[in-house]
Amino acid sequence: MSTPAAFAGLAALMGDPARAAMLQALLSGEALTAGELARAAGIGAPAASAHLARLAEGGLVLVHPQGRHRYHRLAGEEVAAAIEMLGGLATAVAPARRWPHGEEFRQARLCYDHLAGRLGVALHGALTGRGWIAPAPGGWQATGAGEAGLAALGVDLTAARRARRFACDCMDWSERRAHLAGGLGREIAACCLRRHWLRRLPPLREGDPLGRRRLALTPEGARQLDAALGVRLAA
């Protein structure tokens, strides 16, 4: 099929260390400039420009020129899901001794536009366990209880439904379990940030490709999520 060649081309696109670092940095969901991505990848501007052109031509990133900056972001949720899953396989297959980013990174982080880490999989488990979401063709749908409960939390279900997929699974890289993606995943993350239940942490090091994804649960957030959903993360 077109696939052996297309597959190899896509994998090769991800298979360069510099491009991989760029994609990892873009998993924060932000749109980053070519310069920021060059710093994240640890290469010069000309090399970064060439890499970004290839990523864009390959359909993995979208370019957004704005003044003298060129902003880049991942082309979509499926791209993010594939990167996250490949990262999971990499840690599964390689020794993967320690996590330079500490436990915080496994605890809570962004995966494109939704929540990942222990918090992400705990939320997924709580939503399914309490029957707030139920299996539907191609993903999940909200039940009656779920609509009420999510609305009470402040999740914008109307916005969530506007997404191409309302709710679907995304393989969690560190936990090797599914967390929730799709419009609902995005709106839950947005709600948690808007209500200051989660806050973004600054990168540990300047130019760290993964630093932009770091999140921390606030005391208020821990309280609210426990009360509403029984989500309780081990300290």
Partner DNA sequence: TGGTCGCTTCGGTCCGGGGCGAAGCGTCGC
Partner DNA sequence: GCGACGCTTCGCCCCGGACCGAAGCGACCA
Residue 7 interaction partner, one of its own copies, DNA, none, beta carbon < 5-8 Å per kind? its own copies
Residue type for position 110? L
User: Residue 70 Cβ, how far from its own copies at the closest point, in Å?
Assistant: 20
Q: What is the CA radius of gyration of the chain?
A: 18
In the complex with its own copies, the residue whose CB is nearer, 156 or 211, is 211
Check: CB of residue 24 under 8 Å from CB of residue 209. Answer: yes
- Using rule CB under 8 A, residue 10 touches its own copies: yes
Quick one: which of 3, 67, 144, 206 contacts its own copies (CB under 8 A)? 3
Residue 207 interaction partner, one of DNA, its own copies, none, beta carbon < 5-8 Å per kind? none
Supply angle C-alpha 78, 84, 87, rounded to 5.
Answer: 140
Check: CB of residue 188 under 8 Å from CB of residue 123. Answer: yes
Estimate the share of the chain in helix, then strand, then coil, as percent rounded to the nearest 5: 50, 20, 30
Residues that bind its own copies (CB under 8 A): 1-17, 19-21, 24, 58-60, 75, 78-79, 81-83, 85-94, 96-97, 99-101, 105, 125, 128-129, 135, 137-139, 168-169, 171, 173, 176-178, 209-210
